[in-house]
């Protein structure tokens, strides 16, 4: 029975082979990354998965330069089987396992501290952004100058309601931001605010986190 399961999985190897672009390049690339189209069902399913990942990677500016053969490794132990693909990506582009680009983190240094932009419209939080740079979140800044650094030319307002942290408003949010489109705002007297693990997207577009 075990031999039959292997034979069934290898039945789609011809399709996987048709995907072959080239053997893995021996020359070092500036930003080479490997994704795997894996499946415990068949090689044709692995081929379909790797094609989807290649399409995602292409959208990020990466180019598939080599596809390996479908392989099995310790099937009974539950290890992955699949088709590896080698990609050449632009400098600074990192890929998730599904081939989609990891969101880039924008940072600025203001007053001796590095701050990172937290874009709530993309589902980011202070913790996830700091995690992308291998750090833990410390605090959202209250300094309007930080928002101005990320948004040159944007008007800024000190308000009597809102969040204790400075924020950028796109104008599409609810609450105080709806009255200050494309602006930096702060509320020096406010004592409550968006937590480092929270998504503030319904109220604010962006905030700026310091990491440790």
For the chain, which residues make up each domain, given as ranges? 2-88, 107-211
Rounded Cα gap, residues 54 and 33, in angstroms = 11
pTM of the model: 0.58
Helix ranges, 24-160 (H): 43-59, 126-132, 144-150
112-151 pLDDT, tens per residue? 999 999 999 888 899 999 988 889 999 999 999 999 999 9
Q: How many residues does the chain have?
A: 212
Higher pLDDT, 70 or 9: 70
30 pLDDT tier (thresholds 50, 70, 90): low
- Residues 43-87 have pLDDT tens digits of 788 888 888 889 988 988 889 888 877 765 443 444 557 788 888
Of 36, 41, 46, which is closest to residue 16 (Cα–Cα)?
Answer: 46
Q: What angle do CA 96, 128, 179 make, to 5 degrees?
A: 115
Average pLDDT, the chain: 79
């Amino acid at each position: 029975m075990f031999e039959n399961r292997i034979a069934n999985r290898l039945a789609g190897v011809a399709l996987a082979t048709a995907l072959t672009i080239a053997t893995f390049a021996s020359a070092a690339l500036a930003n080479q990354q490997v994704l795997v189209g894996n499946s415990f069902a068949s090689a044709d399913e692995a081929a379909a998965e790797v094609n989807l990942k290649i399409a995602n990677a292409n959208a990020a500016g990466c180019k598939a330069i080599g596809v390996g053969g479908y392989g099995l490794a310790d099937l009974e132990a539950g290890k992955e089987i699949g088709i590896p693909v080698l990609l050449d990506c632009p400098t600074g582009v990192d890929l998730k396992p599904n081939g989609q680009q990891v969101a880039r983190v924008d940072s600025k240094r203001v007053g001796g501290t590095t701050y990172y932009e937290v874009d709530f419209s993309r589902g980011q939080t202070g913790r996830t952004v700091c995690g992308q740079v291998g750090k833990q979140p410390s605090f959202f800044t209250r300094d309007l100058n930080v928002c101005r650094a990320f948004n040159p030319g944007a008007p800024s307002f000190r308000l009597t309601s809102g969040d204790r942290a400075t924020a950028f408003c796109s104008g599409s949010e609810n609450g105080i931001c709806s009255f200050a489109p494309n602006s930096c705002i702060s509320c020096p007297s406010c004592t409550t605010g968006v937590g480092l693990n929270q998504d503030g997207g319904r109220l604010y577009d962006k905030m700026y986190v310091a990491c440790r």
